[in-house]
Amino acid sequence: MNKIVSGPDEAIQDIKDNMTLMLGGFGLCGIPENCINSLVKKGSKGLTCISNNAGVDDFGLGLLLKGKQIKKMISSYVGENAEFERQLLSGELEVDLIPQGSLAERCRAGGAGIPAFYTPAGYGTEIAAGKETREFNGKMHILESWLRADFAIVKAWKGDRFGNLVYKNTARNFNPMMAMAGKITIAEVEELVEPGTLDPDNIHTPGIFVQRIFQGQRYEKRIEQRTVRRKA
């Protein structure tokens, strides 16, 4: 039951070229910074990355893009990354853009064992091209398939050696559903606590979904866009 590993290098050591990864986070909030840095150092190539966004040019998944380690991005919002835009327009990067709610539900479906579901999001747009459609209650829907990954890499506020996780505020975002959808789930946490410390009623990801856990170091917690009010 002890799922603790020494750190990010050990946690991601068997991530190989051409694997599919899910990475939690929303913008730069709640991203697994330590594991991303270890992946950059390891140099795995040809990765398919499922993430809400692609980080920024010099942080988060932007570092993997900079090293051309990502072959395909499956994501929802990519507007803050100039390198992403460059690679997309030059044909160096495959991209599957998905409505944000559909992306979250496809990850959740992968973890719940639901192979497909109908949603109205994207009907009548390029998103629906080639997909099965069906009418429900007078409204057209498209059929979307689940998303699963070889590895899901998530970031939590607190966790214990059994893999139980608690996320904090906005950092909860995509992490819980992605934690369910990986064949192997890696969790990095800000604080590793003893079993029994976490309130069972407040655990967001039960340890049954997590195979590896470690306490991360030196979280930058950057703000993607800082907006301030002018002085009166």
Which class is domain 8-116+147-215? alpha beta
The ranges assigned to domains in the chain are 8-116+147-215
The number of residues in the chain equals: 232
Q: Cβ(124)–Cβ(140) under 8 Å?
A: yes
- 60: exposed, middle or buried (Cβ count in 10 Å: 0-12, 13-18, 19+): buried
DSSP 168: -
- 14: exposed, middle or buried (Cβ count in 10 Å: 0-12, 13-18, 19+): exposed
The pLDDT assigned to 140 comes to 97
The pLDDT assigned to 222 comes to 75
The token pair at 10 is 């050990």
Give the three-class secondary structure for 106. Answer: helix
DSSP 128: G
Stretches in the chain below the pLDDT threshold 50: none
The pLDDT assigned to 175 comes to 97
Can you tell me the distance from the alpha carbon of 133 to that of 156, in angstroms, rounded to the nearest whole number?
37
The pLDDT assigned to 58 comes to 87
Give the position of tokens 């057209």: 140
The pLDDT assigned to 172 comes to 93
CB atoms within 10 A of CB 31: 32
Give the three-class secondary structure for 212. Answer: strand
pTM of the predicted model as reported, rounded to 2 decimal places = 0.92
User: For residue 42, which of 71, 22, 13 has the smallest C-alpha distance?
Assistant: 13
